[in-house]
Structure 1
């Protein structure tokens, strides 16, 4: 039986703000395509991603939204998904997520996915945009130009991007490109020009430590909240370099500037909690980990993240990409996991019920509203 109690009821009814996610695919997926999208690894021969915690969670918690019994076999699940069609599948799962607003990173789209406007329409919520800075830098580099003009061209392009309607934040994937063991100081103009010369001659994606430092400091100058991927990701990340504690010196230098939002964090969510405790500008979420653990273990992840984190510093995100199941599963895992841990503290008299309800609203919605300047009951359809 589902857990019950006033905290569970409050979180079940709370319109969430998903402060970091991506679009859902706009195509009917073949079985192999779907399986490849529910793992950060690969769908290996003879090993189905359905035979994993996230695969089990999909069959348990997503099947009923497709009019199927809980724990339905994977083949039946995929057949029903194709029969309904991607538009209806997306509508059902995005609506079930119960989010009043999504902050959408549009900088990663190896598959055709919904735009923020399409995500908003399918969900009945609002959608805002998160600008990925590495993509802007790579677009500038692809346009040619002299190395000495790179810094000004990148800054101008970034400033233009963040002035567009609906943009509420910027994001960097420095964790993937170089990791965080970077010199914390702002690079000099000469260093940037030299590094840009090497990159423009070589081509490829942005992975130069000097230019990544320049990108992060440009983000500070832009003045919007900065989202940083940390921790868990696909095989492209070198996990030991994605520990947010490696940002400590840079955070000292950027104190008093912009909010820094540490995304995902697992397995470094305790390090992220430390940073959020000692640096005023640092916030965190445990998105991505929530749908990969599912409701069965989301409470444990959230409990570790909240061991010392100030309650105004934790936000909700799904980091859902590709399959709309993840928008729903992330929200469900967050609601159930947070409700269970808060209700347990109320029952143990470690927390009053009014405090628990306030924490639930802060973490699920209000912290994001405050940081991104989102109005209550946001009607935007950007």
Structure 2
């Protein structure tokens, strides 16, 4: 059971977290706001029109609104007439004040501003009432009607047909909207016109010409033209989805919203069921589609579509305040039945009167509180999970979908930490441990791990009872702050100090069961940790925090989500001990008849070990994507699935430990040494990075290439790493370049926004290396760096100087750690982005480590690295 304090923090977040209104309409001018004949105030709680609207005064939604509006107006409202009076007084005395109060807590409005051209304020006018600029949603039927009116008012050349001109102008208008930064999406009201049973395939030109002429025959230049003939209506939707799909591949993402469900008597209730859209959704899988208005009364159908199609989102708007409180709670619960919460969006469908926004926001927050607090009390969600879902629904999902790149502005009197879920880790959510224990009731120990600057994995082991005390903050686990100046053999550099400590804070999102192979003595689990200061704040140099901060910055500043995936390359060796005094163990590849992606007789002998590794990882919920033999003798590659960067690195370490442990169990050594033998290919830790959306992928890539030499101080972090910086051994060659599917370029482009970074190996701390890569890309984005280096289709070392110059290739990859560190020391922007003090400490450690290893004989150094990594 969650504590009362935890539930209070959940309620606080629900009532105060900023929101993005992903679908609304313009507000009336002050002059029109009291024209109740044209814009009846009853419309704030009903879709009915005319005489039917008069019945709204006897509905539960209107009675509830009457009572609640007393709070907005600051005056008692017992009857609907009191509401009309208070509204008129506010409009006359302080209309802008009424609007400001109604939009309080709204970060941004996404307006369908083509509802009417009369009596409403332009979309930019609304900016003064929200924290961020208003954006537009373009209604395609309104665009079509406007173009027809324009076209029929002009003279045409004899060879020009109405259909030909209309088709050209409509497609041009869509293209213009795509290029307009103020436009973030499109909308169709085909539900009102011909229903949602949209044909996914275009009709022939003759059929569309006839459809257009039927529309022209039913209207006039004076009355206008209503787009309500099925072939043409379907065609408008099809063309919009085709363009959305095409432009998304180029990195421009603008969804299509569909009015579904709830509407006035102009709608076909049966054909407003979003289930009719299923063939269309399947036909355009790359086009993001938003089902508006909770699809009420077809919420479950919409939720089903959003659960089985990754391009479908469900908007929760309009039913607030159009239906009763019980109905609102039922709709929200239905939407949560199977709909992924990262596919739920909030909107008010606010229009004309500012009260529509205020009532919708108030009632939605009340409904969120009632439903989510109940779920938490019942044990369905933890407070942390509930907070994450609510923040996503109110803000982050729309921010990501529409690529708004906004940061939430928290209300006065609150702080980001009190409302944000980003910094809440599982130390405050012991239920995550309880859920884990349901599948591992025999758990006895938990290993708390961290990774230092030398990429050494360090661990503390706790009995479960003591670990639980750590989670409950009954005790803290300190590690000496000198960990930032520690070498592999525990030597503390002079810059370090035995005074002071950091505290390990477990991140339960990284918790996994070790299994009997990794830890055979007793059932145990491993969890990664963050470093926290004495006052509980993140330590700047904590590797996991460094990476998390860069990932968060990309999301906040640029609206970019990052995925990361790794390839583990290892060489399996047979140790051979020499019993003579003074002699060391020698290592030989487990296979010698060996080649890339081939299963020789020797290679097949390794299959049982490879399968044991796969089964062990699967039991830890790590699903390998593939295994294959690599080029060097005894070398194999394990491909891990993509994940968010911090989670991906957590998985990488878990998988490496399994590989090493199972190899040892069979009397073998699995080494990550970049080049354990001079003849043959080396081992890397190829890193796949993808950004979404890939809108400015060229600048991101340009930033990586521009800062490549500095990044190498993290990704090629020991002198042994540079034994791989050669051409002709499939390591990425020697020149800073990129190429589409070019495996002899240090950066291989795979698809839009997706690259493989080849200049990284198993000696690096991957939290820091990935952070450096992303920081370099972020610098490219912030400075809009043009991509001066062209696509290189071959090994750049095979080109002449003139040929390389023609491709913009001018710099070599550093040939030593010293060169990389010197580049990093001179790169103030990258050091600042990563953390100046942290980078200074990291460089100090790397210089000392390099000096220590350089003093060894080459063979001793090779064995030293081979046995530790």
Fold shared by both chains (TM-score > 0.5): yes
1:148-188 Cα deviation digits (max 9, x unpaired): 33222210122223433411001000000100123221333
Matches of 1:252 and 1:87, distance apart in 2: 52
- Preserved contact between residue 43 and residue 53 of structure 2 (Cα < 8 Å): no
| Aligned match for 2:79, one of 53, 59, 73 | 73
Matches of 1:376 and 1:125, distance apart in 2: 8
Relative to its length, the structure with more helix (as a share) is: 1
Structure of greater Rg: 2
| Aligned match for 2:290, one of 261, 264, 270 | 261
- Preserved contact between residue 101 and residue 378 of structure 1 (Cα < 8 Å): no
For residue 59 of structure 1, what is the aligned residue in structure 2?
Answer: 66
Q: Write the mapping of 1:189-200 to structure 2, written as runs, cut at 5 A.
A: 189-200=205-216
Structure 2 SS opposite 1:187: coil
Matches of 1:122 and 1:109, distance apart in 2: 21
1:83-140 Cα deviation digits (max 9, x unpaired): 2226834543543441101100011127512222222213454311011100111122
Structure 2 SS opposite 1:330: helix
Matches of 2:275 and 2:165, distance apart in 1: 33
Matches of 2:134 and 2:408, distance apart in 1: 9
Q: Write the mapping of 1:332-351 to structure 2, written as runs, cut at 5 A.
A: 332-351=362-381
For residue 374 of structure 1, what is the aligned residue in structure 2?
Answer: 404
Give the C-alpha shift of residue 316 in structure 1: 0.2
For residue 242 of structure 2, what is the aligned residue in structure 1?
Answer: 221
Give the C-alpha shift of residue 200 in structure 1: 3.5
For residue 110 of structure 2, what is the aligned residue in structure 1?
Answer: 103
Give the C-alpha shift of residue 242 in structure 1: 0.8
For residue 41 of structure 1, what is the aligned residue in structure 2?
Answer: 48
Structure 2 SS opposite 1:85: helix
Please say which of residues 55-64 and 158-167 is displaced more in the overlay. 158-167
- Preserved contact between residue 23 and residue 321 of structure 1 (Cα < 8 Å): yes
Please say which of residues 231-240 and 151-160 is displaced more in the overlay. 151-160
Change (3 A) 1:63 1:251: same
Q: Write the mapping of 1:1-382 to structure 2, written as runs, cut at 5 A.
A: 5-26=8-29, 27-30=32-35, 33-38=39-44, 39-42=46-49, 44=51, 47-69=54-76, 71-85=77-91, 88-89=94-95, 91-97=97-103, 98-109=105-116, 112-142=119-149, 143-144=151-152, 146-203=162-219, 204-223=225-244, 224-255=254-285, 257-264=286-293, 265-293=295-323, 295=325, 297-377=327-407
Matches of 1:252 and 1:86, distance apart in 2: 51
Please say which of residues 322-331 and 88-97 is displaced more in the overlay. 88-97
For residue 698 of structure 2, what is the aligned residue in structure 1?
Answer: none
Matches of 1:250 and 1:45, distance apart in 2: 34
- Preserved contact between residue 99 and residue 129 of structure 2 (Cα < 8 Å): no
Matches of 1:331 and 1:91, distance apart in 2: 17
Matches of 1:137 and 1:165, distance apart in 2: 21
- Preserved contact between residue 303 and residue 314 of structure 2 (Cα < 8 Å): yes
1:18-40 Cα deviation digits (max 9, x unpaired): 00001122234155543453331
- How many residues in Structure 1 have an aligned counterpart in Structure 2? 374
- Preserved contact between residue 108 and residue 130 of structure 2 (Cα < 8 Å): no
- Preserved contact between residue 134 and residue 173 of structure 1 (Cα < 8 Å): yes
Give the C-alpha shift of residue 297 in structure 1: 4.1
- Preserved contact between residue 244 and residue 268 of structure 1 (Cα < 8 Å): yes
Please say which of residues 216-225 and 157-166 is displaced more in the overlay. 157-166
For residue 575 of structure 2, what is the aligned residue in structure 1?
Answer: none
Give the C-alpha shift of residue 325 in structure 1: 0.7
Matches of 1:45 and 1:236, distance apart in 2: 13
Give the C-alpha shift of residue 251 in structure 1: 1.1
Change (3 A) 1:46 1:378: closer
Matches of 1:172 and 1:87, distance apart in 2: 37
- Preserved contact between residue 286 and residue 317 of structure 1 (Cα < 8 Å): yes
Matches of 2:391 and 2:200, distance apart in 1: 35
Please say which of residues 30-39 and 52-61 is displaced more in the overlay. 30-39
Structure 1 SS opposite 2:57: coil
Matches of 2:26 and 2:368, distance apart in 1: 25
Of structures 1 and 2, the one scoring higher in RCO (CA 8 A, sep 6+) is: 1
CA RMSD of aligned residues (A): 2.3
Please say which of residues 109-118 and 239-248 is displaced more in the overlay. 109-118
Structure 2 SS opposite 1:5: helix
Question: Unpaired segments of 5 or more residues in structure 2?
Answer: 1-6, 153-160, 220-224, 245-253, 410-869
Matches of 1:87 and 1:253, distance apart in 2: 53
Please say which of residues 221-230 and 117-126 is displaced more in the overlay. 117-126
- Preserved contact between residue 102 and residue 354 of structure 2 (Cα < 8 Å): no
Structure 2 SS opposite 1:158: helix
1:170-225 Cα deviation digits (max 9, x unpaired): 10000001001232213334433343344344443111211112111121133220
Question: Unpaired segments of 5 or more residues in structure 1?
Answer: none
Matches of 1:175 and 1:46, distance apart in 2: 21
Q: TM-score, normalised by structure 2?
A: 0.41
- Preserved contact between residue 104 and residue 130 of structure 1 (Cα < 8 Å): yes
